[in-house]
Amino acid sequence: MPALHPKGVNHLALSTRDMKGQLEFWCDVLGCPLKALYWMHGVEGTFHGFIELDEDSYVAFVQHPDNGKDIEYGVTHAGNPGAPVTAGAMQHVAFHVDNMEDLLAMRDRIRDRGIQVLGPMDHGFIQSIYFAGPEGLSLEVATGSAIDERAWIDPEVRDLCGISEEEVAALTKPADYQRPSDPVPQPAFDEDKPHMNYPPGVINAVMGRSDEEVWEKASETTPPVKVD
**Residue 192 CB partners (closer than 8 Å, separation 6+):** none
pLDDT tens digits, residue range 39-97? 999 999 999 999 999 999 999 999 999 999 999 999 999 999 999 999 999 999 999 99
Domains of the chain: 11-147 (3.10.180.10)
pLDDT at 4: 87
DSSP 192: T
Per-residue pLDDT of the chain (228 residues; tens, 9 = 90+): 678 899 999 999 999 999 999 999 999 999 999 999 999 999 999 999 999 999 999 999 999 999 999 999 999 999 999 999 999 999 999 999 999 999 999 999 999 999 999 999 999 999 999 999 999 999 999 999 999 999 999 999 999 999 999 999 999 999 999 999 999 999 999 989 999 999 878 999 999 999 999 999 999 999 999 998
The whole-model pTM stands at: 0.93
CA–chain centroid gap for 47, Å, is 18
The string over 183-209, giving b where at least 16 C-beta atoms fall within 10 Å of a residue's C-beta and e elsewhere, is eeeeeeeeeeeeeeeeeeeeeeeeeee
